[in-house]
Amino acid sequence: MPDQPLKVLLAAPRGFCAGVERAVEIVERALAAYGAPVYVRHAIVHNVHVVSELEAKGAVFVEDETAVPEGGLLVFSAHGVAPTVRVNSEQRGLRTIDATCPLVTKVHLEAVDYAQRGLSIILVGHEGHQEVIGTMGHAPESINLVETAEDVEALDLPDPSRVAYLTQTTLSVDEANAVIDAIRRKYPQARGPRGEDICYATQNRQDATKVLADRSDLVLVVGSAHSSNSKRMVEVALDYGAPAAYLVDDADAIEPAWLDGVDTVGLTSGASAPERLVTDVIRWLQDRSRGATVETLDVIDEQMHFALPAQLRNLPLVDSGAR
């Protein structure tokens, strides 16, 4: 137990981004309108609590569209899918709803445009991530995946003057910039996307985490281990001077020993983590430090909303514990 009451610095912005809000709402509205089961290809967002709560309401998560009975209702996750998934779903007679984040769709359209113009595309991202798999599926003959500057150096593209690059939306901004710098050094004429590919929410949460790191003895990031943006936030906290930083799914994952010698805890959450998990962590910290104070650290005023797919806009929404 700390020797004195803790100060908890609560980052703003944190938690659900507009793309996650939209994706979760799509599943909820589909369940309310059509009833269970509603199938979802891959986890709708990368958070175990959100997934389990939607499962309890009748959502069924599958890794492949072939697992959905013919004629079933399938929602594509926020991470996006390759065009072949849409074709396969149509051939199986599935009804589909697209919950792909509009910022991921932007990257897909850029990939198609570059490929149609005959450019070699360098995609900065993590191999095996669902977003990367979907993006590569839009231009499989043109995309070259890289994760590091060393990967860029190993590339041997056919025409150095006809190169473009894209990035996964949930990367660390600093990490992505280092790889982009390597691309520009090797391919000075490389064309970048119209506007940054890394999403506003990823960047905003990382910027807020940098401020937390400077003012905290310990930074806690609420998010699941398979959430790319949440893991990047822990890395950012450590890179920017936090003495310690941990990723926790919920309050139960906190080790009391982490608080030894700690006066200030910086608290934030990934873009797919519901706010109630942050509230639970605050209660956990207050239980272990009577009189613990909570101060909100306003770093960026985030105002963003994405419209629902047209087929769902007039359907009812049931109250959700996943928020």
* pLDDT digits 0-9 by tens, 73-112: 999 999 999 999 999 999 999 999 999 999 999 999 999 9
Is the per-residue pLDDT at 316 higher than 80? no
How do residues 157-195 score in pLDDT, each as one tens digit? 999 999 999 999 988 888 899 999 999 999 999 999 876
For 18-77, give the DSSP string.
HHHHHHHHHHHHHHHHH-S-EEEES-SSS-HHHHHHHHHHTEEEESSGGGSPTT-EEEEP
Q: Is the peptide bond before 13 cis (omega within 30 degrees of 0)?
A: yes
Average pLDDT over residues 121-139: 97
Q: What are phi and psi of 295, to 5 degrees?
A: -125, 125
Give the per-residue pLDDT at 317. 54
Is the per-residue pLDDT at 2 higher than 50? no
Task: Kindly report the CATH number that applies to the domain delimited by 7-16+200-298.
Answer: 3.40.1010.20
Cα separation, 212 vs 240, whole angstroms: 9
Q: Domain 103-186 falls in which CATH fold?
A: Cobalt-precorrin-4 Transmethylase; domain 1 (3.40.1010)
Query: Cα 11 vs. chain centroid, distance in angstroms?
Result: 17
Positions of E strands within 140-212: 143-146, 163-167
Give the per-residue pLDDT at 228. 87
106 dihedral zone (left: phi>0; alpha: psi -120 to 50; beta): alpha
Average pLDDT over residues 112-140: 97
Rg (CA), the chain: 21
CATH of range 18-100; options 3.40.50.800, 1.10.10.60, 3.40.50.11270, 1.10.3210.10: 3.40.50.11270
Average pLDDT over residues 28-49: 94
* 131 assigned to active site: yes
| pLDDT band (50, 70, 90) for residue 321 | very low
Q: Is the peptide bond before 37 cis (omega within 30 degrees of 0)?
A: yes
In this structure, which amino acid lies at residue 296?
Answer: T
Would the pTM of this model clear 0.85, i.e. be above it? yes
CA atoms within 13 A on the CB side of 279: 4
34 in Cβ contact with 73 (< 8 Å): yes
Annotated catalytic residue, options 53, 65, 131, 175:
131
Is the per-residue pLDDT at 312 higher than 90? no
CA atoms within 13 A on the CB side of 176: 24
| pLDDT band (50, 70, 90) for residue 279 | very high
Give the per-residue pLDDT at 197. 79
Give the per-residue pLDDT at 181. 97
Give the per-residue pLDDT at 173. 82
CATH 3.40.50.11270 maps onto the chain at 18-100
Cα separation, 277 vs 287, whole angstroms: 15
Mean of the per-residue pLDDT values for the chain? 93
Average pLDDT over residues 197-220: 93
CATH 3.40.1010.20 maps onto the chain at 7-16+200-298, 103-186
Is the per-residue pLDDT at 242 higher than 90? yes
How do residues 47-63 score in pLDDT, each as one tens digit? 999 999 999 999 999 99
Average pLDDT over residues 2-31: 91
Is the per-residue pLDDT at 1 higher than 60? no
Query: Residue 91 contacts by C-beta under 8 Å, 6 or more apart in sequence?
Result: none
Name the token pair of 17. 């981004």
